[in-house]
Amino acid sequence: MSAFPAGTAAAAGLACCHICRKLAPQALRRCPRCGGSLHLRKPESLQRTLALVLTAALLYLPANLWPIMTTSQLGHSTENTIVGGIVLLMHHGSYPIAAVIFVASVLVPISKLFALSWLCWSILRHHPASHRERTQLYRATELVGKWSMTDVFVVAILVALIQLGGLLRVTAGAAAVAFGGVVIVTMLAAESFDPRLIWDQLETVDE
């Protein structure tokens, strides 16, 4: 029995070129049009995704524990972590900004990591969850991933704008690098994930 549902290109031994999207027999190994290598599915997609998700999770720890921003005010410097900054903003009554930063810096990366992990896990374990739900989850992951750099942007803009010499100065902390790493690695993880694996477990191409 073929690993791929009947009626699909994969089942027919046809692969889509990654670069020029030409459908060609996988046996050729090379795309007859552009010369790119042909794969039925992205090679080692699950392993890569899982490894990158794990890396992102590891990077997420220092990104939250270390200060992301150091504010020097008349020689007296204050360091703020991501969560600390959100709490501070809430204390000052800036709930909308606090909410934006919370969503962009905490909610999005975590949900993305969990979503990718769960997708990989469900594929590996042949979880009987609905492929429709998994597809929606994947789409949501793709959607929020575009916004995950917000916090890094906030820091970058503040650092660039607030430089008043000894009076007031904002510098980026070590967590900004770690957080940037989290965002990049999750993007790569989402990139290496082959969504077609979701549907490969379907018996037939229905509907």
Partner 1 sequence: MSEARAEIAERRRISIIWLVPLVALVLGIGMVLYTFVSQGPLITIVFADAEGIEAGNTKIKVLNVEVGLVESAKLGDDLSKVVVKARIDKAAAPLLREGTQFWVVRPRIGTQGVSGLGTLLSGGYIQLAPGTGEPGVRSFEGLEEPPITPAGTPGLQLSLLSERAGSVSSGDPILYKGFRIGRVESAELDLESQGIRYSAFITAPYDALVTSNTRFWNASGISVSASADGVAVDTAALETLLIGGVAMGLPEGIEPGTPVAPGESFELYASFASVNERPYKRSLQYVVRFPQSVRGLRPGAPVEYRGVRLGRVERLLLREQALEGLTGQGMPIPVLIRVEPGRLELPDTKKGMEELAQAVEIGVGHGLRATLATGSLITGSLYVSLDFYPDERPAEMGSFAGHATIPSITTGLAGMEQKVSLLLDRLNALPLDATLDRAGQALASLNRVLDAPDTRALPASLEATLGELRETLDSVSAESALQTRLLQTIDELDRTLASLRGLLGTLEQQPNALFFNREAVEDPQPPAGSP
Contact footprint for partner 1 (CB under 8 A): 2-3, 43-44, 47-48, 51-52, 54-55, 58-59, 61-62, 73-76, 78, 185, 192
Task: Quote the least distance from Cβ 55 to partner 1, whole Å.
Answer: 4
For residue 55 the two structure tokens come to: 């890396």
Task: Quote the least distance from Cβ 117 to partner 1, whole Å.
Answer: 13
Question: Residue 8 or residue 135: which is nearer to partner 1 going by CB?
Answer: 8
Question: Residue 73 or residue 163: which is nearer to partner 1 going by CB?
Answer: 73
Question: Residue 65 or residue 157: which is nearer to partner 1 going by CB?
Answer: 65
Task: Quote the least distance from Cβ 167 to partner 1, whole Å.
Answer: 10
Task: Quote the least distance from Cβ 31 to partner 1, whole Å.
Answer: 19
Q: How far apart, in Å, do the first and last CA atoms of the chain sit?
A: 22
Task: Quote the least distance from Cβ 172 to partner 1, whole Å.
Answer: 18
Instruction: Return the biggest CA–CA distance within the chain.
Output: 73
Question: Residue 13 or residue 140: which is nearer to partner 1 going by CB?
Answer: 13
d(CA 79, CA 71): 6
d(CA 27, CA 151): 46
DSSP-assigned states of every residue in 150-161: HHHHHHHHHHHH
d(CA 131, CA 207): 13
Question: Residue 13 or residue 32: which is nearer to partner 1 going by CB?
Answer: 13
Task: Quote the least distance from Cβ 18 to partner 1, whole Å.
Answer: 17
3-state SS class at 29: coil
Paired with 14 in beta bridges are 25
For residue 65 the two structure tokens come to: 């524990």
Residue type for position 202: L
Question: Residue 18 or residue 33: which is nearer to partner 1 going by CB?
Answer: 18
Q: Does residue 152 contact residue 176 with C-beta atoms inside 8 Å?
A: yes
